[in-house]
Amino acid sequence: MRGWPPGTAGKNTPILEASHDDGGWFFGLFDDHRLAGVAVLGSRLVGKRPRMLQLEFLHVSSPYRHQGLGKPLFNLAVAEARRRGAKWMYISATPSEHTIGFYLRLGCQVMLEPDPDLFELEPEDIRLEYDLDANSVVASVAQDAVSGQCPETT
Ligand SMILES: CC(C)(COP(=O)(O)OP(=O)(O)OC[C@H]1O[C@@H](n2cnc3c(N)ncnc32)[C@H](O)[C@@H]1OP(=O)(O)O)[C@@H](O)C(=O)NCCC(=O)NCCS
């Protein structure tokens, strides 16, 4: 995939391999055989919110950004989190204006009191949370997309 800052692949690869071995959910969008976007949802409960799962990775390859791929990838992760019984989704986001603007647009909220353990893991990041119940309409539409009934999301 293109658009990773130097060192990011080396840092993320062992984390994602561990998540995969741990039962994490991985979803890739392909353009022919080229990977255009990826979403990864962790399998372990995190934070102090009840039933909170972490969106461990969301990336759209640079040539494919601003074309509406990030949003359905996010919504598919939301649908999977709900399928796994989660109530909240946690996002430790790169502190760039674009990334935070993207998540706020999708209904995420900045965590006012980040969990200390989560803060320690990625202190540079901005921590956000997504209330799955409050955004249940979006999630149910995405669930249809997972089932192959409707590729559109809100
Ligand atoms: C962040 C990222 C996933 C967004 O993916 P994308 O495919 O470009 O986003 P989309 O085109 O699906 O945009 C989705 C929505 O967010 C909105 N949006 C995107 N960037 C925005 C911004 N900076 N401010 C406000 N809204 C924004 C879009 O307008 C769109 O809303 P709409 O459908 O209502 O018009 C992608 O830019 C990326 O991979 N960046 C690098 C890696 C990264 O930062 N990942 C997240 C790490 S935690």
Specify the DSSP class assigned to residue 5. Answer: P
Task: Provide the pLDDT for residue 44.
Answer: 94
pLDDT in tens, 6-55: 888 888 899 999 999 999 999 999 999 999 999 999 999 999 899 999 99
Task: Provide the pLDDT for residue 118.
Answer: 82
Domains and CATH numbers, the chain: 32-153 (3.40.630.30)
Determine the Cα–Cα distance for residues 86 and 116; give it in Å rounded to an integer: 21
pLDDT at 144 over 70: no
pLDDT in tens, 69-128: 999 999 999 999 999 999 999 999 989 999 999 999 999 999 988 788 888 888 899 999
Task: Count Cβ neighbours within 10 Å for each residue of 105-116 and write b for 16 or more, e otherwise.
Answer: ebebeebeebbe
- Work out which ligand 1 atom sits closest to the CA atom of 98: 23
Q: Is the CB of 105 under 6 A from ligand 1?
A: yes
Q: Is the CB of 2 under 6 A from ligand 1?
A: no
Q: How many Å lie between the centroid of ligand 1 and the Cα of residue 146? A: 20
pLDDT at 152 over 50: no
Confidence of residue 154 (pLDDT cuts 50, 70, 90): very low
- Work out which ligand 1 atom sits closest to the CA atom of 71: 12
Q: Which residue, by CA, sits nearest to atom 44 of ligand 1?
A: 99
